[in-house]
Amino acid sequence: MEFITDPLFYLMAIPAVLIYGIGKGGLGGALGIIAVPLMALTIAPTQAAAILLPILLVMDVFAVRYHYRKADYSVIKKMLPGALVGVALAGFYMQAVSQAGLKLTIGVLSLWFCGQYLLSLLGMAKPARRRNNALAATLWGGVSGFSSTTIHAGGGPASIYLLPLRLEKVTLVATMAVFFAMLNVVKLIPYAALGEFDASNLSTALILMPLAPIGVAMGVKLLHRVSQARIYQLCYLFLFVSGVKLSVDGISGLL
């Protein structure tokens, strides 16, 4: 069986998968933005995302099974067309851009998410207005689909549209769970077209897959025991460092 044997890869991948699972388990899906940037420090960005995708699908099975009855499908219906366009554009983008360009893209996206988080901490982010129109749903659904495909981090853009709707907490979590489960299934198409589901990547994903339920269980346990703010601060620190590193590597590669 072919699989990645580099110990440095697993040093990055194991915490990446666990952190994603912790976010799914109750500390916020936005924690997942750190996963691909961490793994991309040791392997190609598209390979990192391809290895992670089957693991996310396993997490989605548990999340959807629990949440599907509570999701707001009218909201999902509005966001989905733009999101599908975003997934398609991301697929073409990943095929056309070099690995150095993808590293720069992921680095810039990582730093953008860090900037958004910092602005929210400083109270400088503008208060969002309530909006439930097709244009906003299509726009942020598209951005979410693109960033979800390239870096498995569509939660931030989706939240820009969803949070002003003032959905009840359980409904919000359920809607996000079902929406991204749908997107993750669709994302199989561009990654398969790119040839990223080879024996090595799938075997490596299979090795890491048992970490998925462990991470989710950790998230459930940590929900009431650890400060969510502290965990987010630590994760965004790692995201900033990896974003800077990927940006520098991407610029160096392009030059």
| 181 contacts 60 by C-beta, under 8 angstroms | yes
| 245 contacts 107 by C-beta, under 8 angstroms | yes
Q: Residue 73 to residues 92, 117, 130, 177, 214: CA-CA distances in angstroms? A: 28, 28, 18, 11, 29
Residues 6+ apart with CB under 8 A from 80: 141, 179, 182
Mean pLDDT on 40-61: 90
Average pLDDT, the chain: 83
- Lowest-confidence region among 123-132, 183-192, 200-209, 233-242: 123-132
Higher pLDDT: 99 or 15? It is 15
Please state whether the predicted TM-score (pTM) of the whole model is above 0.85: no
Which of 134, 136, 158, 135 shows the shortest CA–CA distance to 146? 158
| 154 contacts 148 by C-beta, under 8 angstroms | yes
Asked if pLDDT for residue 96 goes beyond 60, the answer is yes
What does the pLDDT read at residue 179? 92
Position of tokens 């398609």? 88
Asked if pLDDT for residue 129 goes beyond 60, the answer is no
DSSP string, 69-81: GG--HHHHHHHHH
| 105 contacts 94 by C-beta, under 8 angstroms | no
